[in-house]
Amino acid sequence: MALPLTETAAPPPEDPELEQLEIDLLLEAVYRRYGFDFRQYAVASLKRRLWRRLAAERVGTISELQARLLHDPRCMERLLLDLSINVTSMFRDPTFYLAFREKVVPLLRTYPFTRIWCAGCSTGEEVYSLAILLEEEGVYERTRIYATDINENVLTTAREGVFPLASMQQYTENYIRSGGKHDFSRYYVAAYDGAQFPHSLTENVVFAQHNLAMDRSFNDFNVIICRNVMIYFDRALQDRVHGLFHDSLEMFGILALGHKESLAFTSHAGSYDEIDPAERIYRKIR
Amino acid sequence: MYDVIVIGTSWGGLDAVSRLLDGLDDAVRQPIVVVQHRSVESQEGALARILGDHTSRTVCDPDDKTEIEPYHVYLGPPDYHVLVEEGHIALSTDDVVEYARPSIDVLFESAADAYGDRAIGIVLTGANHDGARGLARIKQRGGVAIVQEPETSTRRAMPDAAIAATDADAILPLDEIPKFLYGLCT
Ligand SMILES: C[S@@+](CC[C@H](N)C(=O)[O-])C[C@H]1O[C@@H](n2cnc3c(N)ncnc32)[C@H](O)[C@@H]1O
């Protein structure tokens, strides 16, 4: 589990400029040594997490943390857990799924085959939700979902399809509000404290590691869903990823973002029409 | 000069923030970012509308990376942490902190960090301890710490905790805070 954002952090250094220099050097070191590129992550949350790791490692400065990271790969693993924020849930923001059902699915019906890229899928709750929705709408069979994340660990969980039983009540409510057509309990089998979802739901899903900050496009898509991932990036990196998505979307393809993510602040705002502005569902028009 | 005002409140906060905005002179141009604890289900936009009736400032629920502009009031949206970076809002869906998302501490600490001695933090009425640590951080970085007088707060726990955590620059009844801000900001 990633550490919470604000448990007691190490005291902030007295000299903000020095701190910034140390952070820049640490991120550069992490990138050059391990290939993980956090250099363009949104700075405010990133700093909080570094302070947190500093306290947990009982080191006094970011430079000391850097030394440990370079010499001890296990320390890097711990930092990686801190930096990857995997919070997710099934039918998160039910109104989004409702809008997807009502406004996007009708478009998908007109396609012989649909490729969907779910970028930053975390532990898979989003992917299973989508698969359930598409199945209920009768289009799952001619859909392939490419579900990617930077973090191999969350993908392993995603492939297993076992989610906490304790969350099912919340997910059931979400499912109903998202326009779900059945009794949600038909989709899982309780086993100990887990809810196992059937493998049939991932028959048309490919889970793969992909880093939005570094990797290239790997296919053409009709739909790209990337929710609550880019809010952790700075503007320059957001622009890069939007470029990647724009290149990967077919003309009139659909782009869906998180509720608080806007195309307005990116250089690609002019390339899309709004399908549902409140739900941040867009359609590529140029 | 000061470049941002951050306000944190919970119980009784809607009324308190309304009154504060009501009393605030138009000459105070600094952007204001407010975290008021509210339920996840609370109606998007409802709070902005209510507060909008009390001020001619533009009150909005910001998106991630929304630019911070003078004479605007930004509300932490339900279920997101709201942070400030130099010039814009940054949202995050990180874990709930002390039962709260948005968390006042998260906002205040980001303001201290990004704005240093150009930040003003205000803790108003509330029934928990959120904001105390963040206000201390603002003060530590050279910013200004203001707390609503506990005796005259609807709930005093939050002001009390803030006062215990930091050496506040001013502890004031609600109706005197706008005047104090006017003095600082103009
Ligand atoms: C908050 S979760 C969002 C999960 C899901 N999309 C949702 O909205 O519920 C963010 C995910 O983005 C992933 N992520 C972060 N940086 C990434 C990158 N550079 N490339 C791909 N995925 C990344 C994280 O590992 C994490 O699983």
Whether A67 and A102 map to the same domain: the answer is no
Residue A257 inside a domain? The answer is: yes
CB distance A212 to ligand 1 below 6 Å: yes
Q: Does residue A180 sit in the same domain as residue A239?
A: yes
Please indicate whether residue A40, judged by its CB atom, sits closer than 6 Å to ligand 1: no
pLDDT in the model for residue B116: 93
pLDDT at A10 over 80: no
pLDDT of residue B39: 67
Is residue A283 scored above 80 in pLDDT?
Answer: yes
> Which pLDDT belongs to residue A11?
52
Q: Is the domain of A76 the same as that of A203?
A: no
Query: Are A26 and A98 within one domain?
Result: no
Is A222 part of any domain? yes
Domain count, chain A: 2
Two tokens at B116? 């240093």
- With a CB cutoff of 8 Å and minimum separation 6, the contacts of A103 are A275, A276, A281
pLDDT tens digits for range A82-112: 888 888 999 999 999 999 999 999 999 999 9
- Kindly report the CATH number assigned to the domain that includes residue A133: 3.40.50.150
Confidence of residue A67 (pLDDT cuts 50, 70, 90): very high
For β-strands B81-85 and A194-196, DSSP reports them as unpaired
The answer on A104 and A46 residing in a single domain is no
Across residues A133-149, what is the average pLDDT? 97
Which of A58, A83, A108 represents a domain boundary (last residue)?
A83
Structure tokens at A160: 């297993």
Confidence of residue A225 (pLDDT cuts 50, 70, 90): very high
Residues of chain B with pLDDT under 70: 39-43, 98
Residue in B85, B97, B116 nearest the CB of A5: B97
Residue A3 lies in a domain: no
In the predicted structure, residue A1 carries a pLDDT above the cut 50: no
Residue A79 shares a structural domain with residue A218? no
Residue A12 pLDDT level (bands cut at 50, 70, 90): low
Query: What is the mean pLDDT of the segment spanning A242-271?
Result: 95
In a domain, A126, yes or no: yes
- How far is the C-alpha of A249 from the C-alpha of A237, rounded, in Å? 18
A65 & A133 share domain: no
- Alpha helices in chain A, H assignment, sequence order: 16-34, 43-57, 62-71, 73-83, 94-99, 105-109, 125-136, 152-160, 168-177, 235-248
**How far, in Å, from the CA of A204 to the mean position of ligand 1?**
21
Q: Are residues A111 and A226 in the same domain?
A: yes
Question: For residue A248, is it within any domain?
Answer: yes
A63 with A103, same domain?
A: no
pLDDT of residue A270: 93
At which of A34, A61, A83 does a domain end?
A83
What pLDDT sits at residue A196? 97
CA-only gyration radius of chain B, Å: 14
Residue A144: what pLDDT? 98
Look at residue A239 in the predicted model and tell me its pLDDT.
94
How far apart are the CA of B38 and the centre of ligand 1, in A?
26
- For residue A7, tell me if it sits in a domain: no
Q: Is the CB of A280 under 6 A from ligand 1?
A: no
Our answer on whether the CB atom of A85 is closer than 6 Å to any ligand 1 atom is: yes
Q: In testing the pocket of ligand 1, which one of A5, A49, A77, A122 has its CB within 8 Å of the most ligand atoms?
A: A122
Structure tokens at A192: 């100990």
Structural domain contains residue A40: yes
Distances (CA, A) of A211 to A35, A148, A218, A245, B70: 11, 8, 11, 13, 37
**pLDDT digit string, tens, across residues A200-215:** 999 999 999 999 998 9
Apex CA A261: angle with CA A259 and CA A267, to 5°? 150
Q: Are residues A223 and A243 in the same domain?
A: yes
Give yes or no for residue A3 having a pLDDT over 80: no
- Torsion angle of alpha carbons A23, A29, A35, A37, nearest 10°? 20
Q: Whose alpha carbon is nearest atom 7 of ligand 1?
A: A88
Residue B90: list chain A partners with CB under 8 A. Answer: 42, 44-45, 231
Structure confidence at residue B148 (pLDDT): 98
Range of the domain at A41: 16-83
Q: Between A130 and A45, whose confidence is greater?
A: A130
What average pLDDT score do residues A146-171 get? 95
From A97, A146, A229, A239, give the residue whose CB has the most ligand 1 atoms within 8 Å, as the site to mutate: A229
Per DSSP bridges, beta strands A114-119 and A143-149 are parallel
CB count, 10 Å around CB of B151?
A: 9
Domains of chain B: 7-185 (3.40.50.180)
Residue A88 located in a structural domain:
no
The reply to whether A259 and A215 lie within a common domain is yes
- pLDDT for the residue numbered A265: 84
- Look up residue B78 and give its DSSP letter: T
Tell me, yes or no, whether A137 and A233 share the same domain. yes
CA distances for A84 relative to A81, A149, A243, angstroms: 5, 10, 23
Q: Which residue has the higher pLDDT, A8 or A213?
A: A213
How many Å lie between the centroid of ligand 1 and the Cα of residue B76?
22
Domain boundary among A24, A49, A83: A83
Instruction: Determine whether the interchain pair A87/B97 forms a contact, defined as Cβ–Cβ distance below 8 Å.
Output: no
Q: What is the pLDDT of residue A84?
A: 81
